[in-house]
């Protein structure tokens, strides 16, 4: 199981849309993923250490170095394939390169 952390400002809408899109699309590509959605302000070093990939809505300064790959996932929200496909391709690249699959 590949564990992905999605985050947005409120942890209510955008991060859940990103979560659902990632789980659906990456499952279609044959990856076993689970994504959690949270508020950016709630993220700690300990929390991040439990995930394989971090997918914030935009570049985010958490106040510490994130030790896992970061894939900005905001373009998924536009629901336009030409904008969201590069995010999914980057996720697939990271999963494959890191041997997470």
83-97 pLDDT per residue, tens = 999 999 999 999 999
**pTM, entire model:** 0.93
Three-state secondary structure call for residue 2: strand
User: What does the alpha-carbon distance between residue 45 and residue 27 come to, in Å, rounded to a whole number?
Assistant: 27
Assigned CATH for 1-96: 3.40.50.2300
Q: 68: exposed, middle or buried (C-beta count within 10 Å: 0-12, 13-18, 19+)? A: middle
Interaxial angle between packed helices 81-97 and 14-28, expressed in degrees from 0 to 180 and rounded to the nearest 10: 70
pLDDT at 13: 85
Query: Across-strand partners of 5?
Result: 36, 54
């Amino acid at each position: 199981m590949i564990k992905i952390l999605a985050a947005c400002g409120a942890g209510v809408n955008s991060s859940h849309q990103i979560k659902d899109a990632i789980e659906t699309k990456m499952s279609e590509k044959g990856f076993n993923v689970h994504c959690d959605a949270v508020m950016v302000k709630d993220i700690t070093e300990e929390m991040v250490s439990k995930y394989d990939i971090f997918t914030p809505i935009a570049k985010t300064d958490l106040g510490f170095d994130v030790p896992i790959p970061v894939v900005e996932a905001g373009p998924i929200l536009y629901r336009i394939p030409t904008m969201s496909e590069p995010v999914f391709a980057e996720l697939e690249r990271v999963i494959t390169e890191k041997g997470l699959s």
